Amino acid sequence: MSTWIFRSVPICAVMIVIAAALSPAMAAPPAGSTRAVVTEMCGGCVKGITAKLREIPEVDSIQCDVKTKTVTIVPKGKATLSPKLLWETLEAAGKTPVKLVTPQGTFTSKPKA
């Protein structure tokens, strides 16, 4: 009876690795969305970031991942979000992005437009 346990342990380990790889935090962001990476993030940061980004009328949804320190911003419909506006909004929330990946390009410093 104990040998089946030893045989199932490797299978369970593989399943855990697959589940981690398929988690929402690791999934590709929705088309047209922007992903920002910040230096640090906690629950309070999430509230501040979300509140500031909600002030932008074209923002449909915001997902913050404390573990990976990422913010995914999805626009409404076919709206295009300005990289500069998103960068400045994150700064206003107290979080300067280290990387901003947008449909217009990837930025590691404040975009000009």
The verdict on residue 83 lying in a domain is yes
What is the 8-class DSSP label of residue 59? Answer: E
pLDDT in tens, the chain (113 residues): 555 555 555 555 444 544 444 444 445 667 789 999 999 999 899 999 999 999 999 999 999 999 999 999 999 998 999 999 999 999 999 999 999 999 999 999 999 98
Q: Are 44 and 51 in contact (CB under 8 A)?
A: no
In a domain, 112, yes or no: no
Q: Which amino acid is at 38?
A: V
In a domain, 95, yes or no: yes
Domain housing 71: 29-107
Residue 90 lies in a domain: yes
CATH number of the CATH domain containing 72: 3.30.70.100
Q: What CA–CA distance (Å, rounded) separates 19 from 70?
A: 20
What pairs with residue 74 in β-bridges? 61
DSSP-derived secondary structure letter, 35: E
The whole model's pTM is what?
Answer: 0.74
Query: Domains in the chain: how many in total?
Result: 1
